[in-house]
Structure 1
Amino acid sequence: MKKKWFSKLTVVLSMALMLTACGSGSGEGNGKETASASSIEQEYPARIENEGDTVDGGTLKVAVVSDSGFKGIFNGFLYSDGIDDAFMKYTMDGAFPVDGDFKLIANSDETPINLSFDTEKKTLTYKINPNFKWSNGEQVTTADIAKTYEIVANQDYIIKAQSPRFDDEMKVIEGIEEYNEGKADHISGLEIIDDSNMVIHLKKLTPGLLWGGSFAGEFVNAKQLEGIPMDKITESDALRKNPLSYGPYVIKDIIQGEKVIFEANPHFYKGEPKVKNVEMEILPTSQQVAAIQAGKYDLVYMASADVFPQLEELDNIKIASRQELYMSYMGFKQGKWDSTTNTVVTDPNAKMNDVNLKKAMAYAIDNDTIGEKFYHGLRFNAPSPIAPLFKSLHDPEMTGYKYDMEKANKLLDEGGFKDVDGDGIREDKDGNPLKINFAMMSGGEVAEPLSQYYMQQWKEIGLDVTLVDGRLLELHDFYDRMQVDDPGIDVFMAAFGLASDPNPSGLYGEGAAFNYNRYTSPELQAAIDKLGSEEALDDAKREEFYHEFEKVFFNEAPSIPMQNRVEILPVNNRVKLYDWNQDDSAANFTWADIEFTEAQPVVSSK
């Protein structure tokens, strides 16, 4: 065991040294093609096709890679665990298809619900497609929609379920706060016209509505939950054992925490699925390569990036890829959180509140090469805090911090950070020692050598950067220190999953608790406020405002976007067609369309 562990570590450290050696130049003319999302996606497109005649019957076999089981709350809006969501996303959900920018597809009679907005009246209208039915054959109704809101806004439910769904965005529905506080027995802003039509009255309209903000993304069946107390909802059979479905499949049997068996929903609005049965189960991380190689599964979700090279060698699968809503970033502690006012208070004299220093540290890091060497090309330099996935919002001229050591040194010189005593380490603007404390989380074999690479690169430009406490921090310790603004931390590396709503106010706004940089400014906040304004409901204005935000963010560098990433999906060669594109308007694909060319998943010959 010791020999194997040492061998792996040596390989990883060698990669770190290779990166450091490459890092001493200017980053130009080295002839190395950097990793990019486009190259990965071109080689492994999201749409998979396999030739062969279709065979009838068979069972779709699906795995979700996880070292913990699912919790088993089977409703697409009331779930509390991402693994539960993975089991439902393609089988039971689908009330609101989205376009390429993750906006809800509105004003369409082809979708389950036709959405329309009235900006003057401040209303949102639902018109339910008559073909949108539950798996028992009954139509989805406005009573189901109203019941969903009543559950998530009910205080008894919120306390029992520890639910975060009732948030500020949902509070723009008229009467919902009064209902939550027990001052009303219904939500006055939900106007039910009939079983198929309803109007939601809002206090104000914001662009977040276009992405589903302020309202439920999936629904419950009101009849199934009739008479069940609100504090018993999460324990009910309607969520745990026999939930109805309006997706292509409905649950037939459950092995708690391990496996779910589905059968075709004959009332699915797009037509009954071609494959009649689905078996979906948890697959431990350590077993994923062997199981895929042995042909145990048709689809494997949440496959680990670290096994990507091994998966590439298998001849019984094709790999689909797509950009993920994810961004890692380099943060700087530049103030504190005021819990009395729930606002960020930026310190203009904070050690790291210098734009030249922050940008210099960014230009010293070669994120594309890191993505290639450490993450097998599945990560790439993040050009902006607005993910490139949001094509109509991200400014393509914003390319981020491309590796450039010459520029990094020039910025430090211009900022007044000089090497006063000739020891190769820069002092601060007043000629005093500049020591920067760096926090990074432990985890996996990559974290340690990657942290050493960062510090070596910063040393190359004359910065004295050392790890907080001389070591990597455990995840919970790291975030505990982030939240209390530990004065011993100056710089940190972190990451977050991006929401489908691109508005970044919850990460960079002056009132955002997750703004761990503790940075705000009048210019940045003004740019953020525009993104959530009624004026931004106009497509052209919204694009203009997002481009403006990106420019302000780059100029002030509250934090540094580091990497976006690509997720992968192994698809067995017997699956005739699988389309993993995020854009439902382009793909128009659901699991109901899956067909097989073989009776069982294909086994690898390698």
Structure 2
Amino acid sequence: MGKYSWSKLMFFMMLVLVLALAACGGGSSEEETSEDSGDSGSEGSSEESKDEGGEEGESGEVYNYEDFNQVVSNDGEATGEGTLKVGLTSDTPFEGTLNWNLYQGNPDAEVLSLFDEPLLTMDEDFQFTNDGALNFEVNEDDKTVTFTMEEGVKWHDGEPVTIDDYVYSYEVIGHPDYPGIRGATDGFTLIEGYNEYKAGEADSISGIEVIDDQTAVFTYKEIAPSLTAGGFWYYAMPEHHYEGVEIADMAEAPQTRENPLGIGPYKVDSVTPGESVVMTKFEDYWRGEPNLDGIELSVVSPSSIANALETGEVDYAINFPTDQYPDVAEMEGVEWLANIDGAYTYIGFKLGEWNAEEGRVDYKPEESKVGDKELRRAMWHAMDNEAVGKRFYNGLRWEATTLITPYHAEWHDDSIETPEYDPEKAKQILDDAGYEDTDGDGFRETPEGEPLELNFASMSGGDTAEPLANYYIQSWKDVGLNVKLTNDRLIEFNTFYDMLENDDPEVDIYQGAWSVGSDVDPYGLYGPDVAFNYPRYATEESTKLMEKGNSPEALDVEKRKEIYNEWQALMVEEMPVVPTLYRAYVVPVNERVTNFGIELGYDEETLPYKWGVTE
């Protein structure tokens, strides 16, 4: 599996189910940095500009990610030694929860991906394969999946990885005292006895039976389509390493933060909290001896990452800010790779609250300043997202239309009509809905004649953060809406998501981003009982469609597509969020690096243990 599918794809596969790009590292405004923003244009422009990054505009050269390589062109033989210097681009230290079962932020995931690896692999169509350390066999008739661990796989302390370590992941995540954020998706809740275990009503998960050291059989209530498209958990957890540690204390334990264990080609030697990690070759890696002596990762600020690449301080940059690419595209000694990103940015509207006691969304549009669909529709018409993609990202991000992205090419419905950029139409919609400037101050009042001031939350980070937020504010002001930044400033990553999660009354509108995962199922972001449903939108129709999309009837792929096309259209009609940009990402790699790629799907030749440097 290439770099993309090893760290980012495996992370994205899971993240849609459990975590915001609130966890995503990067340097641009809507990217949640610790995930994660011209010409006049419209969504009715050419297919190329809509789906692949556009054509050349007045702002300068416009790039298309499909014109880039996905594998480095250096095909020289790796020396078998040397250290790869990795820069994690972030204006925030990584948290340091270095265990896949316990971490929350993308910076930690990027660190993890360099020393621990998923047990399961995935093809370019986002279906699990049997090329990893764990194999599986589905029996639809008796609703079971048999998992078999390869022999010879070892933890970095030399202990063998057994099926018990895989089962232990489920037991930790499902435990009532589990301090993390996973375990609410079908891959867990459909296992017989899991919910009873989670509720503390049982001491074990009855649907998991360990046969021997290498084999376990999981019995499910039903075999849902999502299971083989990212629904199984991907990681083992070293039970022996956490012996004597209470589950509630695991995230803060030294076993997680100071001496984490993995099964990947490189093992952790030392951790400087929040700043750097030194890794060395794990000679007993199960696939074969790695091509490097080690990897050194350090956090580098978005403002410094380009210089670090140019001077050779960094060989490879994670989460390089896309908006910086045009300025450094011709940098000597660096090759640029690019691919479509499994993510989208969006404008969200706060339409209710999270009911923590009952674990569900309380959808209250009648109490929200932005509860009127016509107001939201007008705000969509006021945004020129095609121009945003060209001017701010030189085509490496482009206008979004629906909440199922072109990353899922077979599922994205580009035939759905969405509001196009038309400020005059936006004004007419507002007029017709009763939003008029009754006091002559240049801003519209509510249909009831009350002042309408909307607070817009947007994150700090990167050169585009402030101008992009200002662009959207000005676009809405141009149609008579009084929108201002929440607290009159851009908001730091952690504070931003605290405000969203706690439904801060100072947030009416916000700019965010989501990873979309390997499975097209959107329930993990917009389900009525999902805490990451930040707009707090939940209707019977939306919930019914999402549930149908992951039901046994949806094992018929064409039926599932029909269901999700209907859901996409519903979300365009309801607009709890407005998708703004689809995106590609760029990866700078020093020309001395070989066997490195960001292609989708499993590729033996660009697995991390094959990464190397040439003479």
- Residue of structure 2 in register with 1:378 after alignment: 396
Provide the TM-score with structure 1 as the length reference.
Answer: 0.80
1:237–1:195 Cα change, 3 Å: same
Q: Which of these residues, 547, 563, 566, is aligned with residue 584 of structure 2?
A: 566
The answer (yes or no) to whether the contact 2:126–2:230 under 8 Å persists in 1 is no
- Residue of structure 2 in register with 1:309 after alignment: 326
Q: Which of these residues, 451, 471, 474, is aligned with residue 488 of structure 2?
A: 471
Structure 1 stretch displaced more, 140-149 or 74-83: 74-83
Structure 1 stretch displaced more, 446-455 or 312-321: 446-455
The answer (yes or no) to whether the contact 2:361–2:537 under 8 Å persists in 1 is no
1:311–1:35 Cα change, 3 Å: farther
- Residue of structure 2 in register with 1:144 after alignment: 165
Structure 1 stretch displaced more, 292-301 or 113-122: 113-122
How far 1:490 moved relative to its partner? 4.9
Is 1:59 paired with 2:83? yes
- Residue of structure 1 in register with 2:283 after alignment: 266
Provide the TM-score with structure 2 as the length reference.
Answer: 0.79
Distance in 2 separating the partners of 1:229 and 1:489: 37
Q: Which of these residues, 523, 528, 534, is aligned with residue 552 of structure 2?
A: 534
The answer (yes or no) to whether the contact 1:58–1:275 under 8 Å persists in 2 is yes
1:453–1:254 Cα change, 3 Å: closer
Q: Which of these residues, 573, 590, 595, is aligned with residue 555 of structure 1?
A: 573
The answer (yes or no) to whether the contact 1:527–1:552 under 8 Å persists in 2 is no
- Residue of structure 2 in register with 1:250 after alignment: 267
- Residue of structure 2 in register with 1:5 after alignment: none
The answer (yes or no) to whether the contact 1:425–1:463 under 8 Å persists in 2 is yes
Q: Which of these residues, 284, 307, 312, is aligned with residue 290 of structure 1?
A: 307
Q: Map 1:332-351; keep pairs closer than 5 Å.
A: 332-336=349-353, 342-347=360-365
- Residue of structure 2 in register with 1:16 after alignment: none
Distance in 2 separating the partners of 1:512 and 1:76: 20
The answer (yes or no) to whether the contact 2:65–2:396 under 8 Å persists in 1 is no
Structure 1 stretch displaced more, 586-595 or 192-201: 586-595
The answer (yes or no) to whether the contact 2:322–2:396 under 8 Å persists in 1 is yes
How far 1:295 moved relative to its partner? 1.2
Seq. identity, %? 31
Distance in 1 separating the partners of 2:424 and 2:372: 19
Is 1:453 paired with 2:453? no
Partner secondary structure for residue 203 of structure 1: coil
How far 1:70 moved relative to its partner? 4.1
The answer (yes or no) to whether the contact 1:101–1:391 under 8 Å persists in 2 is no
1:404–1:171 Cα change, 3 Å: same
The answer (yes or no) to whether the contact 1:346–1:520 under 8 Å persists in 2 is no
CA deviation map 1:64-107 (0-9, x unaligned): 223444454443333344333212214321311123354433xx
Partner secondary structure for residue 602 of structure 2: helix
Letter in 2 for 1:50: N
How far 1:334 moved relative to its partner? 4.1
Letter in 1 for 2:115: T
Structure 1 stretch displaced more, 526-535 or 396-405: 396-405
Q: Which of these residues, 321, 345, 352, is aligned with residue 328 of structure 1?
A: 345
Structure 1 stretch displaced more, 505-514 or 532-541: 505-514
Letter in 1 for 2:218: I
- Residue of structure 2 in register with 1:186 after alignment: 204
Letter in 2 for 1:140: V
Count residues in correspondence.
Answer: 565
Q: Which of these residues, 62, 65, 88, is aligned with residue 41 of structure 1?
A: 65
Letter in 2 for 1:280: L
- Residue of structure 1 in register with 2:19 after alignment: none
The answer (yes or no) to whether the contact 1:98–1:104 under 8 Å persists in 2 is yes
Letter in 1 for 2:122: V
How far 1:484 moved relative to its partner? 6.2
1:494–1:63 Cα change, 3 Å: closer
- Residue of structure 2 in register with 1:14 after alignment: none
The answer (yes or no) to whether the contact 2:280–2:293 under 8 Å persists in 1 is yes
CA deviation map 1:169-226 (0-9, x unaligned): 434333344445555443322101122221112234433323443x532112334444
The answer (yes or no) to whether the contact 1:258–1:281 under 8 Å persists in 2 is yes
Q: Map 1:131-530; keep pairs closer than 5 Å.
A: 132-135=153-156, 139-156=160-177, 158=178, 162-167=179-184, 169=186, 170-180=188-198, 183-213=201-231, 215-226=232-243, 228-230=245-247, 233-234=250-251, 238-240=255-257, 243-336=260-353, 342-347=360-365, 352-398=370-416, 400-405=418-423, 407-408=425-426, 411-412=429-430, 432=449, 435-441=452-458, 443-444=460-461, 446-460=464-478, 462-467=479-484, 471-472=488-489, 474-475=491-492, 482=500, 490-530=508-548
The answer (yes or no) to whether the contact 1:316–1:573 under 8 Å persists in 2 is yes
- Residue of structure 2 in register with 1:15 after alignment: none
The answer (yes or no) to whether the contact 1:40–1:321 under 8 Å persists in 2 is no
Partner secondary structure for residue 174 of structure 1: coil
The answer (yes or no) to whether the contact 2:594–2:613 under 8 Å persists in 1 is yes
Distance in 1 separating the partners of 2:92 and 2:428: 49
> What is the alpha-carbon root mean square deviation over aligned residues?
3.8
Partner secondary structure for residue 116 of structure 1: strand
The answer (yes or no) to whether the contact 1:174–1:201 under 8 Å persists in 2 is yes
1:133–1:402 Cα change, 3 Å: farther
The answer (yes or no) to whether the contact 2:349–2:510 under 8 Å persists in 1 is yes
The answer (yes or no) to whether the contact 2:457–2:490 under 8 Å persists in 1 is yes
Distance in 1 separating the partners of 2:439 and 2:245: 74
1:406–1:250 Cα change, 3 Å: same
CA deviation map 1:385-440 (0-9, x unaligned): 1122122322233475443445545655665767899998777668x577352413
How far 1:318 moved relative to its partner? 0.9
Flag structure 1 segments of 5+ consecutive residues without an equivalent: 1-18, 599-606
1:525–1:187 Cα change, 3 Å: closer
Partner secondary structure for residue 171 of structure 2: helix
CA deviation map 1:115-167 (0-9, x unaligned): 233334232220223354445666532122222223333345x2xxx322343
Distance in 1 separating the partners of 2:485 and 2:298: 40
- Residue of structure 2 in register with 1:117 after alignment: 138
1:556–1:537 Cα change, 3 Å: same
Distance in 2 separating the partners of 1:325 and 1:382: 13
The answer (yes or no) to whether the contact 1:333–1:517 under 8 Å persists in 2 is yes
